[in-house]
Amino acid sequence: MLNLADDGDLPDVMTGLGDLVGEIAGYTSFEHGPNIDAEGKTPDHAYGFICTFHDRASLDAYANDPRHQALGGRLVAMCNGGGDGIMVMDIEVGP
């Protein structure tokens, strides 16, 4: 979830993150969109995205990929408080 100060580069960054699907082994899907905040729990976070990975090693490869890091740096620059303006949850599902 993103607490945006400036969303001018957001479309380009979201496209870039989506373009990495299939380019990084095990990075299987990317979805993004505005936060509708139906329960009123995240009003400061206007936008969010979900990345899906095959396993923890794939997540680690994504985290260490220089293309992801460059896009992440641009995203941090757009958020209130820099990195503190990004809420990250790494959720493991399934067996």
Q: What are the pLDDT digits (tens) for 9-54?
A: 999 999 999 999 999 999 999 999 999 999 999 999 999 999 999 9
Does the model's pTM come out above 0.75? yes
Taking a C-beta distance cutoff of 8 angstroms, is the pair 58, 25 a contact? yes
Three-class SS state of 66: helix
95: pLDDT strictly greater than 80: no
**What is the chain's mean pLDDT, rounded?**
96
Which stretches does DSSP call E strand in the chain?
27-34, 47-53
